[in-house]
């Protein structure tokens, strides 16, 4: 019986199958693992829309849920702002005193809650959102970031007549000085 000879196409197909099996059986590389971990995270926020005046303060919470089967690495949650009207200049540091929080590893099926304080300083339409990424530099750059839905902020200007309670001093000091100097001048002329 003549032995069966394999053609070049069959050899190529066999090699491709061997490589494919090797890739699958050796386990997914780190990059894929991280992608899987990132896709297992969900970030939700406690508010979807806020109307505020400049200078007001409001808080909201974000919740990071780990829907995967493995514990997450340590995470960083960051609060960001984007002007939707493209005319409001936003310096995020002015809008929130603490914009970055370190989140401890979250066990599978668990979640972690963060509290954020926002103080709008300029009027306009702004979106605020929380973005989560692994704190390890190598992991942070390996996969896509996880972000919450945006909170829509509609901020109107607040006009305070007595900001910080300074108005009495601001008016009284020049007034008292004017009276004092007028009195001094009158007294000087009488002499």
Partner 1 sequence: MTSLARSDYRLRSAAKAPAYGWLVVAVQELRDIWLSWRGPIIVFAFSLLLSLLTYLAATNKELNIIDQRDTVNMVVQITLGIGVAVSLLFGADTVSGERERETLESLLLTPVPRRQIGLGKLLAAVSVWPVLMLVAVPYVWTLKAGPGLFANAVVAGFVVGSLLTAAFASLGVIVSILSNSNRLSLAASFFVFVVLLAPTRIPLTGWFGDHIARINPVTAGSRFVDRVIVTNHSLGQEWTLLIAPVVAAVIALAVAFVVADRLRLQGGIDR
What residues make contact with partner 1 under the rule CB under 8 A? 54-55, 94, 97, 119, 121, 160, 163-167, 169-174, 177-178, 181, 184-185, 188
- What the block records as the tokens of 120 is 């709008």
Minimum separation from the CB atom of position 47 to partner 1 (A): 20
Minimum separation from the CB atom of position 160 to partner 1 (A): 7
Output 14 or 171, the one with its CB closest to partner 1.
171
Angstrom distance (rounded) from CA 15 to CA 74: 41
- Residue 60 CA to its chain's centroid (Å): 12
Output 31 or 181, the one with its CB closest to partner 1.
181
Minimum separation from the CB atom of position 59 to partner 1 (A): 15
Output 55 or 68, the one with its CB closest to partner 1.
55
Minimum separation from the CB atom of position 84 to partner 1 (A): 20
Q: Indicate the burial class of 42 (C-beta count within 10 angstroms; 0-12, 13-18, 19 or more).
A: middle
Output 8 or 168, the one with its CB closest to partner 1.
168
Q: Which residues of 67-99 are buried (b: 16+ CB within 10 A; e: fewer)?
A: ebeeebbebebebbbeeeeeebebeeeebbeeb
CA dihedral 170, 53, 45, 91 (to 10 degrees): -60
Minimum separation from the CB atom of position 162 to partner 1 (A): 9
Output 94 or 104, the one with its CB closest to partner 1.
94
């Amino acid at each position: 019986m003549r032995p069966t000879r394999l053609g070049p196409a069959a050899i190529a197909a066999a090699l491709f199958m061997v490589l494919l099996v090797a890739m699958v059986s050796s386990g997914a590389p780190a990059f894929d693992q991280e992608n899987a971990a990132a896709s297992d995270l969900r970030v939700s926020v406690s508010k979807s829309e806020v109307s505020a005046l400049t200078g007001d303060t409001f808080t909201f919470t974000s919740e990071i849920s780990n829907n995967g089967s493995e514990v997450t690495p340590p995470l960083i949650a960051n609060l960001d702002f984007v002007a939707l009207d493209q005319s409001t200049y936003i310096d995020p540091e002015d809008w929130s005193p603490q914009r970055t929080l370190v989140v401890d590893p979250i066990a599978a099926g668990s979640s972690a809650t963060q509290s954020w304080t926002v103080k709008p300083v300029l009027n306009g339409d702004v979106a605020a959102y929380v973005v989560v990424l692994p704190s390890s530099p190598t992991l942070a750059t390996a996969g896509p970031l996880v972000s919450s839905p945006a909170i829509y902020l509609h901020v109107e200007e607040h006009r305070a007549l007595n900001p910080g309670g300074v108005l009495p001093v601001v008016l009284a000091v020049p007034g008292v000085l004017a009276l004092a100097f007028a009195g001094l001048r009158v007294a000087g002329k009488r002499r």
